[in-house]
Every structure is written in structure tokens, then in C-alpha cells.
Amino acid sequence: MSSLRTNLSPVSELAIDLDRDGGGALHRQIETSIRQRIRSGALPAGVALPPTRALAAELGVTRGVVVEAYAQLVAEGYLTSRSGGYTQVASAPAPAAPRPGRPARSRSPRPVVDFGYGRCNLAAFPRAAWLRSVRRVLTEAADERLGYLDGHGAVELRSALAAYLNRVRGTNADPETIVITNGYAQAVSLLIGVLAARGARTVAVEDPSASDDARPITHALGLSVVGVPVGDDGVRVDAVAELGADLLILTPSHQWPTGGVLSPQARAEVLAWAQRTGALVLEDDYDAEYRYDRAPIGAMQGLDPGRVAYAGTASKTLAPGFRLGWLILPRELVEPFAEAKLLADRGSPILDQLTFADFLSRGQFDRHLRRMRPIYRSRRDALLRALAQQLPDLEPAGIAAGLHLVAWLPQDLDEAAVIAAAAREGVAVAGVTPYRLSPAPRGGLIFGYSNLNERVIADGVTRLTRAVSSLREGTTLRALP
């Protein structure tokens, strides 16, 4: 039985005072007020917050404003939604008792500002529009659509994706060449398995890159992994020209994590290499929907559908928890891949596929992206301003697109030391080094900004500035005789 208290906190206990004249978005003001009261202990763990309707009526706002504020705090971990409709202050799990004879390990404090990357703003998920699609699917789907699937995925979703990707990303796809997967991780895992069965022996990845999804399955199958160095504009084509690999995994439209964009000439050279060697290029188009300072770059797959497999997901646009992904494959790989998918899990959940197909074909996906782009751009701009004002010797890169940027460190700052000092100031930020296969002359920090508002971003950079100052002062003191 849970010991959490479920007595409702009266509206008056929240002490929310809205400034309707220049105080910022109302849902942000509500978030900030509740967040501060949780941090101060005024709202202890387990206390249930007022229903959204009651709080909205008390504050004189629409219920949607309160729903959005609660959802953001749930996404940040301050609140948790529980059965019966209650939203409660989250309770931290009790620490496990130490084993006899072993000292208890201290737990790292929860960061005040988390520049975590690779995620979208979960609180902004278009719940109402998605619910309408769910209702239509449940009402209109034929009974037989609920039966066992083939390995390709729902034809409704494959058709909607082909139309969307051909229009927006310049792909060359039709429903027969698309296979639905449970996100990118499953897509790359199954693809490597299919290629290994056909004789592949070497997989090449960008260096640095997020190759965590590819490397374990590659090693498990006995294949080799080689790194291809990355320059300012993405993978270095001179290194590709000398590469002996069966599969090359690229992020050409926004290199992860450095943000480089592979030029048209470089893309042509990579494709010429693939044609010459018979290799396959896997194009991971992980955040192509977000472009701020330049026109979208078309997909490589549209240039050579026979040598490029195109991977996309809804993780950066809707929510990673849906586990919705897709591959556009060369035709000779479609059936082997679909068979591998069927063997792996008997197909992805049909209701999710049909719902996304409805959501996509009715233009709701486009509307959601149009709403999110200016929000993310504003947050990126806030991060760039704060870095320029407070840490001008950090060099931002990859800023024209996506949901993160890299800031290269000057030579006097060690990446690991900066990350540790930042943690002591309450800031969580990742480094580039863990994503490298080979050493690099300098370190860098990866800033995710999609899930943080402008004030939190500014606070995070201020805290990071204090951390850097403490490191430099300490270095100066140690250098004195």
C-alpha cells in the first residue's frame, strides 16, 4: 500500500498570483509558482493538487492553461499523475539500505537545470488533436484491422508517411518501400542483422556520433565498427573515399552532435562511394523538421533510393514513448527486413499506427510542427544570448537547426572538470567525449534546450558561468608559488 497522502491541497495554498500585464505566458507563471513551492517544501511530496477545473476557475483562466502547466511539471518530475485523476507532488524513492560492511554511497542531487538533449517538449504534446484521431480510429477501424499484422506495418500509415516525406523531405518513397518499426533503435538493429545475414562484415559510424544503438548489435553479430572523422560540415568525404565498409550510418542534414550539414557536393561523393563499393548508407534524419536559420536540406535518399535507407521517428516531434519509427528501404531489402521485424515482435501496435496515420493525413502533424518551431527557436536564441554574454569564449556550433547545440570549450577548460563543476552548481550538461571513438584536441558541451523555458536557460548558463569561474580561479591559485 502506498503511504502517499492524497488529501487535496486547497487552491488558496498554491498562492498563485498571476501578472496579466507583461508577466509572461500564464501557464509559465503557474508552473513557476508551483515549482517554487515544491522546492521550498511548502508543497510536500504526496500532496494532491487541486483539479485543473477548480484551479482554472479560481485563477480566471481556461482549463487548458492549467493542464499545460501541470503537464510541464509532470514532464520535469515535480508532479506525477495518478489514477482517479489526481495530480500529486512527486515523491522521491527511499534510498536502499546499504549492504553490511559497505559504506552508503551518496546520491547525486537532482539538477536544478538539466540541459538534457535528444528530447522534445513533452508538455507540448497535442493531446486534444491526438485524442480526436484516437476516437476516429476506434470508431471507424474495421474489426479485421485488429488482427495479426505482417512485418511491413499498417498500409494507412505507410501511405501517409510516403506522401508526407516525399513532400517535406524530398524522399523517393512509396508505401511498399516503407517498414514501420518501434523507433530508430529497432530499425538500426534489425537492418544490421539483415545485412549481416547477407554477408556484411563492417559498419562505419561518424566520429563523434550517437552510435549506442548500432554498436551493441554490431559487436554481438561479430561485425567490426570503424569511425569516420567529422569536420565542420559533417562527415569528411576524404575519409569516406578510403573506407571499406558495408554500411555507413550518417546524420547528413544535422550531424549529431556537432550540427554540421553535409554539402551537396559531399553528398554526391558519398553516394559515388556507395555505388562504387556496393555499400549501403543509412540516413538517420532524426530532427529534420526543425530548421531556423536556413532552408531545409532534402534527404539523401531522394538522390539514390537504391543505395540509401532512410530512417525517421516521431521521438523528436511527438514523444519518444510512442516508439514509432520508419525505414524507407531499397526494394531488395524490404522483404528480408519485414520478415526480421515480424520475427522480432509480430509488428508494432496497430492502434498507434492508425492514429498517427489519421493525425498525419489530416494535417495535424504539420500544425504541431508550425506551433513548435518558433518556441524552440526562441529557446535556442535565449541560450545563444546567455552564452555570448556570460561565456563568450565558448564556441557554439550546429545552431541553425535541431533541439540542441554544441559549445566547444577553450583549451584551458577540461570537459570532465567543467561537467563536474556544473553539477556542483546544480546544472546537468553532457560532454562530446563519450560519443567519440578517437581522442580529440578539445572538449565540448552538448546543450539541449527544447524542454527548458527562457528563464531556466538563463539561470542554467549563470550557474555554469559560476562553475567555470571556480575552475579558473582554482587553476590560478594552484599556479601561484
Q: What is the pLDDT of residues 320-337, one digit of tens each?
A: 888 999 999 999 999 999
pLDDT bucket at 206, cuts 50 / 70 / 90: very high
Q: Is the pLDDT of residue 9 over 70?
A: no
Q: Is the pLDDT of residue 98 over 70?
A: no
In the listed set 345, 364, 383, which residue is the last one of a domain according to the structure?
364
In a domain, 112, yes or no: no
Least confident segment among 14-28, 160-174, 393-407: 14-28
Closest to 285 in 3D by CA, of 230, 327, 324, 227 = 327
What is the count of structural domains for the chain? Answer: 3
How far is Cα 152 from Cα 262, in angstroms, rounded to an integer?
Answer: 31
Write down the pLDDT at residue 481.
37
SS3 assignment, position 453: coil
Statement to judge: residues 230 and 280 lie in one domain: yes
Statement to judge: residues 245 and 312 lie in one domain: yes
Q: Is the pLDDT of residue 105 over 70?
A: no
How far is Cα 285 from Cα 176, in angstroms, rounded to an integer?
Answer: 20
Q: What is the CATH number of the domain that holds 265?
A: 3.40.640.10
Residue 103's identity, in one-letter code, is P
In a domain, 4, yes or no: no
Statement to judge: residues 173 and 143 lie in one domain: yes
Q: Is the pLDDT of residue 357 over 50?
A: yes
Q: Chain-wide mean pLDDT for the chain?
A: 88
Q: What is the CATH number of the domain that holds 449?
A: 3.90.1150.10
In the listed set 40, 71, 93, which residue is the last one of a domain according to the structure?
93
Q: Which residue has the cell 485523476?
A: 85
Q: Is the pLDDT of residue 396 over 90?
A: yes
Q: Is the pLDDT of residue 441 over 50?
A: yes
Beta carbons within 8 Å of 156's beta carbon, 6+ residues apart: 353, 354, 357, 358, 361
Domain of 189?
A: 127-364
- Give the highest mean pLDDT range of 46-55, 306-315, 440-449: 306-315
pLDDT digits (tens, 9 = 90+) for 54-73: 888 888 888 878 888 887 88
Write down the pLDDT at residue 67.
82
Q: Is the pLDDT of residue 23 over 90?
A: no
pLDDT bucket at 204, cuts 50 / 70 / 90: very high
If you average pLDDT over residues 402-422, what whole number do you get?
Answer: 95
Least confident segment among 2-16, 165-179, 400-414: 2-16
Statement to judge: residues 315 and 378 lie in one domain: no
In a domain, 217, yes or no: yes
More confident residue, 23 or 43: 43
Write down the pLDDT at residue 44.
86
Statement to judge: residues 295 and 160 lie in one domain: yes
CA distances from 377 to 94, 395, 456 (A): 39, 18, 15
Write down the pLDDT at residue 213.
83
In the listed set 93, 118, 140, which residue is the last one of a domain according to the structure?
93
Residue 455's identity, in one-letter code, is R
Statement to judge: residues 338 and 374 lie in one domain: no
If you average pLDDT over residues 26-39, what whole number do you get?
Answer: 86
pLDDT bucket at 309, cuts 50 / 70 / 90: very high
CB neighbourhood size of 219 (10 A): 12
Which percentage of the chain shows pLDDT scores above 70? Answer: 91
Statement to judge: residues 354 and 325 lie in one domain: yes
Which percentage of the chain shows pLDDT scores above 90? Answer: 61
Statement to judge: residues 146 and 271 lie in one domain: yes
Statement to judge: residues 284 and 391 lie in one domain: no
- Give the highest mean pLDDT range of 11-15, 71-75, 360-364: 360-364
How far is Cα 458 from Cα 33, in angstroms, rounded to an integer?
Answer: 18
Statement to judge: residues 215 and 349 lie in one domain: yes
Statement to judge: residues 70 and 149 lie in one domain: no
Write down the pLDDT at residue 84.
52
Gyration radius from the chain CA atoms: 24
Q: Is the pLDDT of residue 102 over 60?
A: no
Q: What is the CATH number of the domain that holds 39?
A: 1.10.10.10
Q: What is the DSSP string of 19-41?
A: -TTTS--HHHHHHHHHHHHHHHT
Statement to judge: residues 16 and 140 lie in one domain: no
How far is Cα 438 from Cα 428, in angstroms, rounded to an integer?
Answer: 24
In a domain, 207, yes or no: yes
In a domain, 107, yes or no: no
Is 337:191 a contact under the CB 8 Å cutoff?
yes
